[in-house]
């Protein structure tokens, strides 16, 4: 089939059989991506082609050598298309079409190329303390966005004020949340993730919430200490009182014995 006939097929074969399902594929910028055919390719066919955004990328006829360029690689055995070192401009709709008796779509992908997300920083903006509560306002920041939220601890129970803070910029999500007393900033997209665990609630709020670092309420500790001291003092008083009574009884007995002895003489 010559190039003129190929153009005729591309121009007039607008409708073809095959699956209409589209597979979304997220790819990290600078990596390679493999696009496989999703339906069986007939043993005998005139040609198979890969297109991107309806523009021909690869055109292959049986008996030809595999195609390998700086940007793509095509296998003549399993008809897989390899995209090399993808960039954001490679994002688009990729389709594989085979011609037998008529054109048939055997693969369709929506390729989305994303760059790795930038690092995220966590800062504590303010701390407000009272006898039994603590409010901590924090900010998560990336190179192009930021979000702030406030966490509150009351009687050792910490929670976020309102709904969980979240922002989406250029296909990336930025979130701040509390997990196991640790404040987490998370910056992620479909191909990468960065996390910053820069603050512990107890580092800022355990004194204000009336607790010790071991997690025992300070008032309970004071009560226990006071009770133990009171018991010790009471025991000491009782012991002294018993000793005094014993000594008086002994002295009384000795005095009685002395009187009896003198009378007998």
Q: Which two tokens stand for residue 88?
A: 């954001």
Phi/psi of residue 227, nearest 5 degrees: -65, -45
Domain ranges of the chain: 3-114, 121-205
Which stretches does DSSP call E strand in 19-100?
Answer: 23-28, 33-35, 47-52, 55-60, 67-68, 72-74, 81-83, 92-99
The pLDDT value given to residue 51: 98
The pLDDT value given to residue 229: 66
Phi/psi of residue 95, nearest 5 degrees: -130, 145
The pLDDT value given to residue 169: 80
Residues 167, 187 contacting (CB under 8 angstroms): no
The pLDDT value given to residue 92: 97
Report the CATH fold assignment for 3-114: Immunoglobulin-like (2.60.40)
Task: Give mean pLDDT in consecutive 10-residue pieces for the chain, a chain of 265 residues.
Answer: 35 46 95 96 95 96 95 96 97 97 96 96 90 88 90 85 76 90 92 89 65 42 60 73 69 57 52
Q: What helix, strand, coil percent values describe the chain, rounded to 5?
A: 25, 40, 35
Phi/psi of residue 32, nearest 5 degrees: -105, 155
The pLDDT value given to residue 154: 87
Pick from 218, 198, 199: which is nearest to 207 by CA?
218
The pLDDT value given to residue 15: 44
CA 29 to chain centre: 22
The pLDDT value given to residue 142: 93
pTM: 0.66
Pick from 122, 157, 121: which is nearest to 137 by CA?
122
């Amino acid at each position: 089939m010559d190039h003129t006939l190929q153009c005729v097929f591309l121009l007039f074969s607008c409708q073809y059989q095959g699956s209409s399902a589209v597979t979304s594929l997220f790819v990290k910028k600078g990596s390679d991506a493999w696009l496989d055919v999703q339906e069986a390719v007939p043993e005998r066919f005139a040609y198979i082609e890969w297109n991107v955004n309806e523009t021909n990328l690869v055109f292959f006829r049986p008996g030809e050598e595999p195609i390998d360029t700086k940007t793509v690689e095509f296998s003549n055995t399993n008809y897989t298309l390899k995209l090399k070192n993808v960039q954001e401009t490679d994002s688009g709709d990729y389709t594989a079409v085979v011609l037998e008796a008529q054109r048939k779509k055997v693969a369709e992908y929506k390729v989305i190329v994303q760059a790795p997300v930038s690092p995220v920083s966590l800062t504590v903006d303010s701390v407000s303390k009272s006898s039994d509560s603590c409010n901590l306002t924090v900010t998560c920041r990336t190179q192009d966005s930021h979000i702030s939220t406030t966490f509150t601890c009351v009687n050792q129970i910490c929670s976020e004020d309102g709904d969980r803070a979240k922002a989406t910029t250029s296909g990336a999500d930025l979130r701040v949340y509390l997990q196991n007393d640790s404040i987490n900033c998370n910056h992620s997209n479909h191909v990468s993730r960065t996390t910053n665990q820069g603050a512990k609630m107890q580092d800022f709020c355990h004194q204000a919430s009336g607790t010790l670092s071991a997690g025992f309420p300070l008032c309970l500790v004071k009560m226990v200490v006071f009770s133990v001291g009171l018991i010790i003092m009471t025991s000491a008083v009782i012991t002294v009182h018993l000793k005094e009574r014993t000594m008086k009884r002994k002295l009384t007995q000795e005095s009685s014995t002395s009187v009896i002895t003198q009378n007998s003489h």
